[in-house]
Amino acid sequence: MNPAQMSDEQYDAITRLLRESAGLAFDHSRRESIAYSIGERMRATGSADVPSYLAMLTDGGERQALLDEVTIPETHFFRNPPQIRALRTHVLPELLRQARDTKRLRIWSAGCSTGEEPFTLAMLLRELLPANAGWDVRIVATDISTRALVAAREARYAQRAFVMTDPLDRQRFFYLDADSGHFVVRDEIRDMVEFRHHNLATQPPPFGPRELDVVLCRNVTIYFDRTTTKNLMKRLHGCLRDGGYLFLGHAETLWQVSDEFSLVPLGDAFVYRRGVGADSKRAVLPDRRTENEPRPTRADRRRGPVDRRGSRSAVAVTPAPPAEPDPMVVVRTAVATGSYVEAADLAAEVTTVDPLRAEAHYLQGLALTNLGRDAEALVVLRKAVYLDPHDGFAHFLLGGALERSGELVAAGRCYRAAATTLGTRPLDSVAPELGGRSVAELVVLCRQLALRVEGQA
Ligand SMILES: C[S@@+](CC[C@H](N)C(=O)[O-])C[C@H]1O[C@@H](n2cnc3c(N)ncnc32)[C@H](O)[C@@H]1O
């Protein structure tokens, strides 16, 4: 597969189209992988050059094919064990108890990819409701990728989808297709899930107001721009009933996105909940302000909630809320939403308090390189690789900053170190903050970049 050679204008035209049609935000760190996707679509459509391929994108079918190519389908069964525990032990039993009379439950897996997430929900429900008889349970699973939905409807999975699955669950809910070696979801689970095509950025939800009990929208908004995420959260809020639950991915928060939900700790997971009343909302959103109250500073936020008399209360109203997300989650979210100045500042604050935190140096370097501040990025990325020599992503970024600064020999060494250290990770894992590239893709890219700079040195 050859990457397409695109001018800046052509790259901008393509990323604008992806943003407008699916809310997907691509910065320049994604250029290489977009070039591969465009190259693949040019080959598939027989386009002679980039302009003739761009002309084809007026056609809805080709736009969909490109979306299938650029979206990241990474997922697996029972993903995010703390959230799975929260669903299994708190959320689903509570919802079933509440629905004792109506016997009605509505769940949406929004951005379901190849189906592992909604099928996991079905398995959890099946454990709790051994006989569905008399219950009206619907799990609707949607995605923008037609390719992912085809795979989801086939419901056949290779070994790698089961990294988090208990072998007993696999035995119970799947059968082995001996010819292909794939595991196939049993009908009793398959029948509980309905797959549909749906665009979360542009279409209204496939549910009416207050109809839903739970929404899982995990690891989807990390690829969205902030406005798309804000609008989406408003719509999700609208179709959740009071007390309904919202699950986001571990790197996603509603901080500075929506204050309409309550953040609730459940075991070792944090989940969002549509407020069940003014009191509970105040309890879990301690720093909600009136228009005239001053914005808290970052230091204030770190210290925790302030009560109405202005003293900082050590004891929160029950249930005890987390004062704010983990700072690294906040930094990652700022990176994911393209707020690089904020990400760099926040990461710098973290390293001031904890200078040995390699991840914070790395994310600061990532934000600075995105801002074009290579000289500053070099300083922090050197610290990142010094503190964690096995962090291939940091070597990769340092290589780029060195190359742009003309230090080609050192850049070549970094790219090689990146290829070697990344090669020790699962090859299909993904780095969302590096534009969602898979590790396999980065390893190949780093080797190519090493050859290129070595040739110039
Ligand atoms: C990384 S997967 C997450 C799968 C699953 N939710 C999980 O956490 O394991 C992200 C999914 O979001 C989908 N997606 C991206 N943009 C979308 C949009 N605008 N509307 C609906 N789905 C979208 C992608 O096609 C992809 O399948």
- Is the minimum distance from the CB of 148 to ligand 1 under 6 angstroms? yes
More confident residue, 268 or 90: 90
Q: What phi and psi, each to the nearest 5 degrees, are found at residue 155?
A: 60, 40
Structural contact between residues 155 and 122, judged by C-beta atoms closer than 8 angstroms: no
SS3 content of the chain, % helix, strand, coil (to 5): 50, 15, 35
**Averaged pLDDT of the chain:** 85
Q: Taking residues 263-289, what's their average pLDDT?
A: 58
pLDDT digits (tens, 9 = 90+) for 161-173: 998 889 999 999 9
| Residue 252: predicted pLDDT | 80
pLDDT exceeds 70 at position 3? yes
pLDDT exceeds 90 at position 264? no
* Identity of the amino acid at 32: E
- Is the minimum distance from the CB of 220 to ligand 1 under 6 angstroms? yes
| Residue 342: predicted pLDDT | 84
Residue 247 tokens, joined: 């699950």
pLDDT exceeds 60 at position 386? yes
Residue 331 tokens, joined: 């930094």
| Residue 157: predicted pLDDT | 97
- Is the minimum distance from the CB of 144 to ligand 1 under 6 angstroms? yes
pLDDT exceeds 90 at position 440? no
Confidence band for 283, pLDDT divided at 50, 70 and 90: very low
Element containing residue 139 per DSSP (H, E) = strand 136-143
Q: Taking residues 184-212, what's their average pLDDT?
A: 97
Distance from chain centroid for Cα 176: 30
User: d(Cα 366, Cα 370) in Å, to the nearest integer?
Assistant: 6
Spatial CB neighbours of 401, under 8 Å, sequence gap ≥ 6: 365, 369, 374, 377, 378, 381
Cis peptide before 265 (omega within 30 of 0): no
Structurally, at CATH architecture level, domain 81-274 sits in 3-Layer(aba) Sandwich (3.40)
Structural contact between residues 197 and 110, judged by C-beta atoms closer than 8 angstroms: no
pLDDT digits (tens, 9 = 90+) for 44-90: 999 999 999 999 999 999 999 999 999 999 899 999 888 999 999 99
Q: Supply the residue whose CA is at minimum distance from atom 2 of ligand 1.
A: 73
Which atom of ligand 1 lies at the shortest distance from residue 436's CA? 1
CATH code of domain 327-456: 1.25.40.10
| Residue 249: predicted pLDDT | 87
Name which of 17, 117, 16 is nearest 60 in CA terms.
Answer: 17
More confident residue, 287 or 208: 208
Q: Taking residues 228-241, what's their average pLDDT?
A: 97
Ligand 1 center–CA 370 separation, angstroms = 24
| DSSP annotation of 260 | S
pLDDT exceeds 60 at position 442? yes
Which atom of ligand 1 lies at the shortest distance from residue 67's CA? 25
Q: Where are the domains of the chain?
A: 8-70, 81-274, 327-456
Domain 8-70 grouped into CATH 1.10.155.10: yes
Ligand 1 center–CA 58 separation, angstroms = 23
| Residue 306: predicted pLDDT | 29
Residues counted in the chain: 457
Which atom of ligand 1 lies at the shortest distance from residue 224's CA? 16
More confident residue, 248 or 334: 248
Indicate the top mutation candidate among 113, 160, 233, 252 to test ligand 1's pocket, ranked by most ligand atoms within 8 A of CB.
113
- Is the minimum distance from the CB of 74 to ligand 1 under 6 angstroms? yes
Ligand 1 center–CA 147 separation, angstroms = 12
Indicate the top mutation candidate among 74, 143, 146, 250 to test ligand 1's pocket, ranked by most ligand atoms within 8 A of CB.
143
Annotate 429-444 with b (16+ C-beta within 10 A) or e (fewer): ebbbbbbbbbbbbbbe
